[in-house]
């Protein structure tokens, strides 16, 4: 049974439906409180009224500089109930980037975590558009009005802003490895469609308890909130994955059934000793970066009752494809077919669909595509292509894929990460997968570096399992039995950790910049 069985075209409609169907059921459990659906709905409506009483107009932007908590969830739904467009800003963001996001979006309001008020105050000096600032968990020395007090004092009846499915619900700022972030414009219709499609293929329902260690600032983390509410399920929030044993304890104590993660999450868990089994988990999902096939066995050991969903997506359309878990052993590197209700296909340089096994660029169609990048028409045109004689758009991912005889997709590499060596094109992902098979290797990042003779030489940065004694030379030797000669790394560097973006992807350009 799900809370949303009828058509609910707006993001907030799922909360309204869940509150009606399950008013006393836990909606969100964080470190300090447990909110029922009835309580979450009331708080969101009161927050919407706070924004409207503070002068927020329909279509204005509200920045949420908050931790992953029930407060942030309340603010997300409250913003859309007020007719606003929410922007979740990762709490690790520094003042300069926060000021950029506030200025670029011309945010009218900012909600800030008390511990971040000094950073926020610095950013606000460069953000004249912000008219309303609210603070949560600020203590006696708070600089701005207290959010919790404002919510308690407000009426739980916001004015109807007249929102339609084609209106923007959110700006999601991409975490690029270089340059300034771009605001991905997501409509209510795109978010609602995406979440409905994902709920369908993951086979989840209202009895599930979903763990979220991922920031709401990124689509993978935001999806866990929207998915939980769409289902009338329970969301268990962890602020981060800094202390894995504590996360695992919460899985056990809260009987978590769904655990979304990224490859670095799984690498950490697989590399830890004596963790035991977590039988309550029935579904594991992986996105943000490719899941190395050698991780499958380790995950099955820890979560013996769980199916594993390999998925691929990008911020510009939330999710592209997934592999049915029953095919995991048959197609261990595949990310499957397009999510329900959408289309994904691979084109060669001539714009023709590739034959099975040929490499091309992945393109996507469907109701889940972004509207474009906020006030960036050239960047939008680079990603979204108009269909001749149609209003429909196609998203060009600029990522390289192959397709097999069954139509299942396999990620080859991002355009920037293809290595050209000895006249051959090498997928860094394929080399990484091979190195992950070497016992003692925890995680890997492979890059191409300039070389006068080869064009580019292959360099692998390797993090070892605790206690492993592999040398760089041994890793090169062991890779020769797993890779074709031209794909064997010319150089291996052992490192303590790999630099990551806020969304869990490895910053390969940072590795190259460090020499």
- Asked if 374 and 182 touch (Cβ cutoff 8 Å), the reply is yes
pLDDT at 231: 98
pLDDT at 178: 43
SS (H, E, C) 37-69: HHHHHHHHHHHHHHHHHCCCCCCCEEEEECCCC
pLDDT at 515: 66
Report which DSSP code applies to 353: B
Residue 253: which residues within 8 A CB-CB, separation 6 or more?
none
Q: Report H helices in 232-358.
A: 244-253, 263-270, 295-302
Beta bridge mates, 337: 322
Beta pairing class for 109-113 and 26-29: unpaired
Tell me the whole-structure pTM to 2 decimals: 0.88
Measured CA to CA in angstroms, residue 16 lies from 50, 77, 78, 157 at distances of: 19, 10, 12, 13
Q: What radius of gyration do the chain's Cα atoms show?
A: 23
Q: Which two tokens stand for residue 69?
A: 């908590």
Q: Which two tokens stand for residue 106?
A: 């011309």
Measured distance CA(368)–CA(341) in Å, rounded: 9
Sorted by where each starts, the structural domains of the chain and their CATH numbers stand as 11-193 (3.40.50.980), 241-413 (3.40.50.12780), 418-513 (3.30.300.30)
At 85, is the secondary structure helix, strand, or coil? strand
Measured distance CA(267)–CA(227) in Å, rounded: 25
Q: Which two tokens stand for residue 396?
A: 């060009």
Given the structure tokens 């953000």, which residue do they identify? 127
Q: String of b and e for 89-99 (b: at least 16 CB within 10 Å)?
A: bbbebebebbb
Least Cα distance to 169 among 72, 53, 61, 73 occurs for 61
Measured distance CA(7)–CA(31) in Å, rounded: 33
Residue 435: which residues within 8 A CB-CB, separation 6 or more?
441, 444, 446, 460, 462, 475, 479, 482, 489
Tell me the HSE value of 370 on the side-chain side, using a 13 A CA sphere: 32
| CA dihedral angle for residue 302, residue 306, residue 311, residue 315, rounded to 10 degrees | -80
Q: Which helix (H) or strand (E) holds 425?
A: strand 424-426
| Ordered per-residue pLDDT tens for the chain, 515 residues | 334 334 679 999 999 999 999 999 999 999 999 999 999 999 999 999 999 999 999 999 999 999 999 999 999 999 999 999 999 999 988 999 999 999 999 999 999 999 999 999 999 999 999 999 999 988 777 899 999 999 999 999 999 999 999 999 999 998 644 467 899 999 999 999 999 999 999 999 999 999 999 999 999 999 999 999 999 999 999 988 889 999 999 999 999 999 999 988 998 999 898 899 999 999 999 998 889 999 999 999 999 999 999 999 999 999 999 999 999 999 999 999 999 999 999 999 999 999 999 999 999 999 999 999 999 999 999 999 987 777 789 999 999 999 999 999 999 988 778 888 877 778 888 899 999 999 999 999 999 998 877 888 999 999 999 889 999 999 999 999 889 888 999 999 999 999 987 777 788 888 887 76
Least Cα distance to 229 among 37, 506, 46, 504 occurs for 37
At 407, is the secondary structure helix, strand, or coil? coil
Q: Which helix (H) or strand (E) holds 195?
A: helix 188-202
């Amino acid at each position: 049974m799900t809370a949303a069985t009828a058509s609910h075209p707006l993001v907030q409609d799922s909360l309204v439906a869940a509150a009606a169907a399950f008013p006393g059921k836990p909606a969100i459990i964080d470190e300090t409180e447990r909110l029922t659906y009835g309580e979450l709905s009331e708080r969101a409506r009161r927050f919407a009224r706070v924004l409207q009483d503070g002068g927020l107009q329909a279509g204005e932007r509200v920045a949420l500089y908050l931790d992953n908590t029930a407060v942030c969830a309340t603010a997300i739904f409250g913003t859309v109930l007020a007719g606003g467009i929410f922007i979740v800003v990762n709490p690790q963001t520094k003042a300069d980037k926060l000021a950029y996001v506030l200025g670029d979006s011309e945010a009218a309001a900012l909600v800030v975590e008390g511990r971040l008020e000094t950073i926020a105050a610095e950013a606000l000096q460069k953000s004249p558009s912000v008219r309303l600032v609210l603070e949560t968990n600020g203590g006696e020395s708070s600089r701005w009005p207290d959010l919790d007090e404002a919510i308690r004092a407000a009426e739980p009846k916001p004015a109807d802003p007249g929102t339609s499915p084609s209106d923007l619900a959110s700006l999601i700022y991409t975490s690029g490895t270089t340059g300034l972030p771009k605001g991905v414009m997501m409509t209510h219709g795109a978010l609602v469609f995406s979440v409905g499609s994902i709920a369908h293929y993951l086979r989840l329902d209202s009895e599930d308890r979903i763990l979220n260690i991922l920031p709401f600032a990124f689509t993978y983390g935001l999806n866990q909130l929207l998915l939980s509410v769409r289902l009338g399920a329970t969301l268990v929030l962890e602020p981060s994955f800094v202390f894995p044993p504590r996360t695992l304890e919460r899985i056990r104590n809260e009987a978590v059934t769904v655990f979304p993660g990224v490859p670095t999450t799984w690498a950490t868990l697989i590399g830890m000793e004596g963790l035991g089994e977590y039988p309550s988990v029935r579904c594991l999902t992986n996105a943000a970066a490719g899941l190395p096939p050698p991780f499958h066995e380790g995950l099955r050991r820890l979560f013996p009752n769980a199916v594993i969903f390999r998925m691929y997506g990008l911020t510009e359309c939330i999710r592209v494809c997934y592999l049915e878990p029953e095919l995991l052993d048959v197609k261990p590197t595949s990310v499957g077919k397009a999510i329900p209700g959408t289309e994904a296909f691979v084109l060669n340089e001539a714009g023709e669909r590739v034959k099975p096994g040929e490499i091309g660029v992945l393109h996507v169609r469907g109701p889940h595509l972004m509207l474009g990048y906020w006030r960036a028409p050239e960047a939008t045109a680079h990603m979204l292509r108009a269909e001749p004689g149609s209003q429909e758009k196609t998203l060009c991912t600029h990522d390289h894929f192959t397709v097999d005889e069954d139509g299942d997709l396999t990620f080859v590499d991002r355009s920037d990460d293809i290595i050209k060596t000895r006249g051959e094109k090498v997928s860094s992902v394929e080399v990484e997968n091979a190195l992950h098979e070497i016992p003692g290797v925890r995680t890997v990042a492979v890059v191409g570096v300039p070389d006068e003779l080869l064009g580019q030489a292959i360099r692998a940065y390797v993090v070892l399992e605790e206690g492993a004694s592999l040398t760089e030379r041994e890793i090169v030797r062991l890779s020769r039995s797993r890779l074709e000669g031209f794909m064997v790394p010319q150089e291996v560097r052992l490192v303590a950790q790999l630099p990551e973006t806020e969304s869990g992807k490895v910053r390969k350009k940072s590795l190259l910049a460090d020499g």
